[in-house]
Structure 1
């Protein structure tokens, strides 16, 4: 009754403040404050979708504070702190996390204490305050590991602590030790099936491999992380991964491809508003343009990145920007400015990597490892006593265990066979759907109708020519549909036949060109069958059908920087996806395109079967003044 009166008072007291808060959220908060669940998980399950809204979290914080619901207040403060951290407002973030830590200590809630400590460690790491960050993350790890039967939330906190310590070693250029922590965290996140945690650790491992000179290994880890971020629709992860991949392209002397990725990532980073994401993108853009000797543009991008890094106290990014500005001025023979920037870069790097900090971190971890070993010895002694007791019962339980194992093996085999049959059925369904999309009735009818017009107009030569092509295309589609992989040459021949026939309906206005790099033999390279036609169809009917003037599609095949992969790009100069979508929405009859969705799912199945990464990107192309000038499809395919 007393809690209900408090809630009623809150509704009056915060009436002016809550005018922008939806009534549904107010009711949700009233229910939470009344029920007052303990711990992180029940709160997070209700508020997960609202945690990035600072207005709603502030309302919940005030409501929990007034009702003296300490767990709710601590949760809201931590989420507010995370939001301000992602906006690079680090002082405000630290203040909120410290208030949450005090509340958790007051309420003796271990989950929120560990969460607050880890959050503080992340904020201080962002500002390169390594010693302070290590103190907080180490406290969080020791506290979480003290729990005998940890909940899922505590296990996640342990993984975060291990990852944070790995990040600190990475900042100290101790990359082998950092990789050991990241791999441990990755294993734990995999056990919890936490895709975000797996993505973060894969990215971190890639960064360490990059610093150790293993660019191929780093690129593989970045692409693994990107695939996981795509799966969970995480824009922040996309920006980080694309920036990292672009950096590899820069180091592989491929700045133009790096610029394409960075320009694609920049709007997403700016929309998120996190200087931690925006600054590196600008800095790497400047680096790419420096390699292309576009000095004015390079300097502009570097200075933009440096300004953001300095405003947000991002010391590592500021050091990188100063180093690149020094190189730029050296190439322009501005040696005085080059020296100034270089000295500033060294000063900032020294601030991160000073000897006392390295020694301090190593001492903390040595003490922690020693204490942990002592605890493990005590645990092993107790376990030995338990084992000796259990050995007396072993003979009587051995037979039962064997029977149970046999039953489990039989059950697992049945489940495995069911899984295999389910996958085979799914694959068959996909192949049938793929064949139906290739043999689209509208396409068949329209193609035959076009050939019929040639016959009616007594153009027998054209009619016979296109009828031969049409029959050859149908035969090739039927033959390829029964195969999982076909030579690249056959796939290219099939799409060329398709384009020739479709071009009849466009009055031969489409300029279709296939380019193949000299180092690729299309007869020996194999790719999944019938994967290119859906993208060409999409370019024709969504990109070029509503366009006036020159209409062009270019299919380009070249070797990737990784020798085990090829790049296939399909570029059209159509109206772009945004304009196409507007035209589609205005139509009464909307044609649903399923070919690309089926192709994506087929590539996903190939990834599982061959343990390879089939990456697909669709990029919007723009002119220098920001006007759409077509679409580019990028396929990154392993050589089978």
Structure 2
């Protein structure tokens, strides 16, 4: 693969430059390595090299190098979908280059900002950024940048369904790509032109461009562009009623979308698969894909709207209280005027005393209103956190996998095993839902839920050796703790700890009570957290772990006692695996 060769050659160059301490050349080579990894869609490695280059450029105060790194890091966050962070990096670079009057790098940042606002759905705001970038690039004559920008403009006009204008920009971009032999940009441009003809219902032309894109993207190993190509070909074949070919390409695009964790694209692919399977009269597969389509749709809806709903609710309550306070202030104002008239004949001291009382009332009212608003926001935040935690425990993915295992047992006619599995699964589901409604549950209820989860995970093949040890001094029924604190870390151990370990998989849960602290440790003998930080997915934190950490901060205040979590690699104790130490806020019931 060409990009892989570039990586190897660049690495050799880095080593050579490091020996002579030429930091500026080292940073440039590191950026080139990052670009090579970016072009083969290895974004974790690309980000790693960009950040190394950024650090070197800051050390030598190289503003041009700093701005290049900021642009490239911003591009990583664009493809990862972290648009606020992408905007931040692009604006940082733009500020540096406006000061330096570097029109080339200014145009890159403007172009990228257009891409970001396009992805956010604000196409009207995106177009001026990209058009301004194109004007700068045409003056400089940088054909590669011109082709990129023309391609971006084409995409923007596609999004506002102006396909004729989109085709004009894309056709110009394609011609430049072919003139300078830039296959990387050409692959994306061909995809976009294929999409234009698909929406104009000119299917033969659409197929022609998608097929050209397939050959180029396959040769480059550009999996992200290839994902779009396969999906486009599947749609074209479906329109041409060639369902077998449509199914082949739809399944290929599905596999790639799962690799990139592109939920929105995966949802569209499952929707297409439903249509294809229905036409093939494979109603079982159509139903399966429809169910998964619904799960993905719910996931996208929840992610986009959960926080928005909570925010709107808080703002509504705030406005409601503000309106009420305004009415009270008007009443008080009328009272002041009336009182003033009545007291004109009396001593001035009485008047000022009355005004003072009224002002004090306003201040007290404002204070109580502020406290009430603060409590309302706190309750909303806690409810949002509880919803997130419940969803992180009983994820659609977990439920889907459990039902798939159960379906396999039924199809294999393992009646006793399937009944047992269904019983365990329903019990776990009931426990989780019941516990999520209460602010505190008994320690025995929490441990029962954890035990049921471990039993369900182990029921299929006894993969894990799990132990739960409780210190004798702990009266289990008497301890009341917040629900759903322990299980997320147990789930993390099962999902992530044993990626390279097949046998002798152990998870040990231990509870002790010392110095008025209820301490729970979850230890596994897996690969350890350092392995995760070195892997490609090391930058992806556990959602449940993050929510639990945030929740413990709130619970510490509610219970007026310490609540915390520490995650360590057991290497520091000359052992293997990960150790989680939870300090759990609690109450003790007196019987």
TM-score bracket for the superposition, by shorter chain length: 0.3 to 0.5
Q: TM-score, normalised by structure 1?
A: 0.37
